[in-house]
Amino acid sequence: MPLPDPQPGLVIRYAYLWRNEAVRGREEGSKDRPCVIVLAVRKQGETVIVSVAPITHTPPPERSGAIEIPAATKQRLGLDAARSWIVTEEVNRFVWPGPDLRPVSRNQPDSFAYGFLPRGLYNAVLAQVREHILRRSLWPVNRDDPGAEG
């Protein structure tokens, strides 16, 4: 199966590098996890720069940027039943597809995506990311230049 087209709202499996890991000098994410493509921008030629927001089971701290994923959406995507949140205050940026894209499971080694978020949920994620950009509280980690933030 070919790689999916990197479209906003698509949930992929990715070796996400948290900002606090990058600040400590790590270059690799410690865990593969579902992530939402928030933005995909085509640059010159065929190069596509993708920004992804991580999905986590860890409840967000008060006043942080995160949106809980409804149980029905998790079930439709084939994710586990535990509560999960999309973190909207940090993203990884990389040239698609990049070396950190992972298969969704060992049983599906050629499948890298779970499916799409519902439009309303994706729009809520995008609105929070935009709000973080406006408040200068978005923490991007550029995966194509290890150690570089922003």
**For 18-36, how does the pLDDT look when each residue is reduced to its tens digit (9 = 90+)?**
999 999 999 999 999 999 9
Topology at the third CATH level for domain 10-142: SH3 type barrels. (2.30.30)
CA neighbor of 38 nearest in space, from 111, 97, 91, 104: 91
The domain locations on the chain are: 10-142
* Residue-level pLDDT, tens digit, the chain, 150 residues: 578 999 999 999 999 999 999 999 999 999 999 999 999 998 878 899 999 999 999 999 887 789 999 999 999 999 999 999 999 999 999 999 999 999 998 888 899 999 999 999 999 999 999 999 999 999 999 998 544 445
Q: How far is CA 5 from CA 2, 10, 103, 114, 139, in A?
A: 9, 9, 15, 13, 25
What's the pTM value of the predicted model, to 2 decimals? 0.93
The structure tokens listed for 144 are 């194509």
**pLDDT tens string 32-57:** 999 999 999 988 788 999 999 999 99
